[in-house]
Structure 1
Amino acid sequence: METLEKRLYEWFGYSSFKYNQRDIIESVLADEDVFSMIATGSGKSLCYQLPALWKKGTAIIVSPLLALMENQVQELKQIGIKKVAAYNSFLNIKEKKRILNRLSEYKMIYISPESLQQEEILKQISNLDVSLLAVDEAHCISQWGHEFRTDYLKIGNARERMGNPPCLALTATAAPEVREDIIDKLHMKSPVSICDTVDRPNISIQAIKKEKEEDKRTSLLEFTRNLPKPGMVYVGSRKKAEDLAEMIKNETSFTAAAYHGGMTKEDRHLIQQQFLLDEVQIICCTNAFGMGINKPNIRFVLHFDYPKDIESYVQEMGRAGRDGYRSSSILLHSDTDYFFPRRIIEWEFPSEEEVHYICHLLQAEDRANISKQTIESYGLEDVHARFMLHYWEEWRNTAEEHYPEDFINMVIKKRKRWKFHKLSQMENWISNTAECRRKTLLETFGECLRRQPNPCCDICGISESPAHDEDAAASRQFVPWQDRLYALFHQQQ
């Protein structure tokens, strides 16, 4: 396809493709199903945007990241691509109706998996000439994935309603069993598989044990003072994000801010923009921050609390060094950390008392059709309500003779066993003091370490507090105020 580069330049202003982009795009244009695992920051969005413009019809892009949808739509419009829209909960009723009335005019429609479940919307999309179904963050569809969302499980059926258009599944991190699950749940037929390695050779890896929480705080301050900036500090709770950000501001000369899901949308957006523009040097955040954040010059990612699985760790540490310069991943841990991730796993699911209460209420009312709002009205939080809704409907559609309460509790126990297995895998990797950390990390994803970088990891030998790196320093250039303003408003100079 000799004109691909020409279209790439005309539509997006790029002179050449990044690694694997061309192969993915060519397979999509050949109407093949494609599963792709490529690193965050490697240009995933172009892999569906270019084919969407090239092919006749409308591309449907499913994404759980509402802010990223809006950002991509604005960026496309600002480079002259106007026939694009995002349909999600950010819109008011009038805006939603306007988009639904003009569906056939768009080349790309971004939509959340929750919106795609609504019968009115799915019916209208099914009447379109759908050129491509792209599923971003596709690992969310797998019950074995680290960010499983029940709403994603309906995408396979929605695809059938659309007439089984070619499907592109994209993710940055997926173990072999997750890849198989994604392909199965999306009803993909003999898909082309294009996968990058999860290895990031420019990122050194350390897992450092401390005696207690206070020692971890001391180490955090030491790393903050000595490592090149900007940097990210991942924590397990909202309160800790705020506490550590305040500590860094008080104990060092660097700017720091907290970011978590409990903040208002306006505050989160402000912190995000300040971090992207290097006005905030260190961000202390929960896992609510990261997906869809395109900041190439992050020099370190420090885990103050370790995540519940290796997939999350790889995805989070991979936010460092996307510009290719030397960067650091540091994980601090102590014996006192043992209980917190286990409590988090328990909190992810409704309790047995909640399951019993909701099931008996729904059975007593003999509801044929229920909504998430109905379940929330009984006192459950959003994530638990979605879980209950999905598995209540699944129980109704099965030939199982179990009571709904027993059926849902069996699902919960199975999911918990898997999550505790993944947590043990993470903790075994942390406690390993014999084998190269990079090697054992890659083995989790079915890969082999082909070349050992230098520096590699704390097992192979690395100083606990690396000095400033010349490459990293070179990447931190002065940004004129005009360029900062263009970046803030997503404009091109």
Structure 2
Amino acid sequence: MDERTRRRRLREVAEETFGWDRLRPGQREAMQELLDGHDVLLVSPTGSGKSAVYQVPGQLLPGPTVVVSPLIALQRDQVAGLRDVAAGGAVAVNSTQPEAERAESLDRAASGDAEYVFLSPEQLAKPEVLDRLAAARPSLIAVDEAHCVSSWGYDFRPDYLGLGRAIERLGHPPVAALTATAAPPVRDDIVRALGLRDARQIVRGFDRPNLWLEVRRFLDDEDKRQAIIADAAGRKGLGLIYVATRRDAAWYAERLREAGRRAEPYHGAMRAAERRRVHGLFRDDEVDVVVATSAFGMGIDKPDVRYVLHAAPPESPDAYYQEIGRAGRDGDPAAAVLFYRPEDLGLRRFFTGGRADEEILGRVAVLVHAHGGTVERGELQKTLDISAARLTKAVNLLAQAGALDVTGKGAVRYASGGPDPERAVAAAVELDEGRRRIDRSRLEMMRAYAEHTGCRRRFLLEYFGEPYEQACGNCDVDLAGDGAEEEDPGEGPFRLHAGVVHAEWGEGVVMRREPDRITVLFDEVGYKTLSLEAVEHEGLLTLRG
């Protein structure tokens, strides 16, 4: 199929099957790459139609489309949406189904009665599920929320770490890795973890010009709290307030109820029924504001959120942009306001500062190695007498080091050909320290955003590698007219996106240029902001050839 015919067929399927009269920026390009047999990493905001990128090519390729989707509720929505169109059928395979229903779904995929098969990463960790899917010979694999392999890494969804192996077991057809926000190091993690081959990275549409960006600075915590309550109580429309702790979620919700607002707290420790209740209120416009930790996020796609307030800075601009991106998805004006007190960064450092326990890593590695077979996670935890969280971190670090295979929910075994336990522990500790360096640098970039004296939109977009060469006119700095004049990124010896080398920190890429400094993203140590005077006069950087 030549390019012209391919583009015509994509348009026809998009319109005739799904009712889309046009394709958005990045969609057609990603679809064409997949049809050409290439792996694709698409970074595009939520609400920009990333699902279309696998749905349309799935109609043109022989064999089922496997979609890895982390939330069961989201799977149900996606299956229901595809059942409403003549797209060849869709099924889900998840832990809430009886065994017979899961088997029937896999049978439908194998027989050609279902074009789309939605699974969680935990299901793909099961050998019997993989074998059934491999027999169906899938023509396309889509990994939704692909940043899970990086930004949550060893602290969440360990079965994401096995997706690269699962993709190979399924014959490695073209893979579409989809995410709403991923800075360059996260994109590198996704490519590496999923084993993408010669991946086409397509980054589109980060700019959300309808979002008002603002930072309000405080010295006193009580002043900040009262300002947040007054702000939220005085706003119209549906809103979100993100807080750092469960206690703050409850405290702010109670204060806002006292101020006459319908407010609900939300955090990961709440019972599932209570979380569902708050989700329902939010969905049905029966609440004015949800006060939440970062647990309130994935799968939230309500178009008319009018404001997102942050009571404390999150751990990175990546997380911040993801969370403020839940406002104004209908294209109407919305506000994103960070209430900032420098001391609040100390709490984030605490959350990101936990060093891997070398002793526990060693005990896990030695025990699984000596066992020689598959060990249930519960059995490991009981034998080692450690918490589930500490065991999960150790297992996932050792899996990243190539020593352990996660073979199913709660089960691990020593990897064939993996390093011996001593070398595995050393590699895991090195991985952990590298991740901690990157995390600390991202937190410092969050500080830099909060204290930035230039256009806030430009800061965020350049952090994600998207050039933005003018003031946006829709942030607090630009409106006040007192921001520092920013240098054209094309000027000077170290231009935007130039490759550089530092004697100690190794290779990096220039991500920001300001009149007196540049910010470089180094492969090994993360983000560093350097004085241009020192760089130029002391020869701290050299350009990569």
Give unmatched runs, 5+ long, in structure 1: 464-493
1:208 is paired with a residue whose SS is strand
The residue number in structure 1 matching 2:378 is 373
Deviations 1:121-152 (A, max 9, x none): 11221112211011111222237979875432
Structure 2 counterpart SS, 1:200: coil
For residue 448 of structure 1, report the CA deviation from its aligned partner.
2.2
The answer to which structure, 1 or 2, has the higher relative contact order (CA under 8 A, 6+ apart) is: 1
Counterpart check, 1:201 vs 2:216 = no
| Residue 431 (structure 2) pairs with residue 411 (structure 1) | yes
2:447 is the alignment partner of 1:427:
yes
Query: What is the CA distance between 1:352 and its match in structure 2?
Result: 5.0
Equivalent position amino acid for 2:91 in 1:
A
Change (3 A) 1:383 1:130: farther
Distance 1:61 1:130 in 2: 10
Q: Offset of 1:358 from its aligned partner? A: 4.1
Q: Secondary structure at the match of 2:17?
A: helix
* Contact 1:139 1:148 survives alignment (8 Å): no
Alpha carbons of structure 1 residues 335 and 181: separation in structure 2 relative to 1, 3 Å:
closer
| Letter aligned with residue 248 of structure 2 | K
User: Contact 1:233 / 1:301 at 8 angstroms: preserved in 2?
Assistant: yes
Distance across 1 between alignment mates of 2:385 and 2:154: 26
Structure 2 residue 157 is matched with structure 1 residue 152 = no
1:331 partnered with 2:351:
no
Aligned-partner Cα distance in 2 for 1:292–1:95: 24
Identity, in percent, stands at 32
Corresponding letter in the other structure for 1:264:
R
Q: Does 1:118 align with 2:137?
A: no
Equivalence for 1:342? 349
Distance of 1:389 and 1:296 partners within structure 2 = 39
Q: Distance in 1 between matches of 2:160 and 2:17?
A: 31
Matched residue SS, 1:130: coil
Q: Does 1:170 align with 2:178?
A: yes
1:43 paired residue number: 49
Q: Distance in 1 between matches of 2:86 and 2:421?
A: 57
2:458 paired with 1:439: yes
Partner of 1:477: none
Residues 179-229 of structure 1 show CA distances to partners (whole Å, capped at 9, x for unaligned) of 233233333333333211422221111121112322122111221133332
24-33 or 436-445, which deviates more: 24-33
Match of 1:471 in 2: none
Q: TM-score, normalised by structure 2?
A: 0.77
CA distance in 1, matches of 2:388, 2:122: 12
How big is each residue's C-alpha offset from its partner over 1:234-275, in whole Å with a ceiling of 9 and x where there is no partner? 111222212211211112x22111122122333222221221
Distance 2:251 2:230 in 1: 17
Q: How many angstroms apart in 1 are the aligned matches of 2:477 and 2:155?
A: 28
Question: Structure 1, residues 11-61: CA drift from partner, whole Å, max 9, x if none?
Answer: 333333333323322332333322211111111112112222332211111
Shift of 1:109: 1.0
Which structure: greater strand fraction? Answer: 2
CA distance in structure 2 between the partners assigned to 1:412 and 1:13 by the alignment: 47
- Where do residues 124-143 of structure 1 align in structure 2 (5 Å cutoff)? 124-142=132-150
Shift of 1:107: 1.0
Contact 2:140-2:173 at 8 Å conserved across structures: yes
Instruction: Give the Cα–Cα distance (whole angstroms) in 1 for the partners of residues 221 and 380 of structure 2.
Output: 39
Partner Cα separation in structure 2 for residue 461 and residue 156 of structure 1:
49
Size of the aligned set, in residue pairs, is 459
Equivalence map 1:169-318=2 (5 Å) = 169-251=177-259, 253-318=260-325
Point out where structure 2 has 5 or more consecutive residues left out of the alignment.
1-6, 404-413, 483-545
Measured against aligned partners, the alpha-carbon deviations of 1:421-466 in whole angstroms (never above 9, x if no partner) come to 221221222223x222222222222222234333223465299xxx
Cα RMSD, aligned residues only: 2.8
Contact 1:455/1:462 (CA < 8 Å) preserved in 2?
no
Closer, same or farther: CA 217–324 of 1 in aligned 2, 3 Å? same
Task: Tell me which amino acid in the other structure corresponds to 1:58.
Answer: P
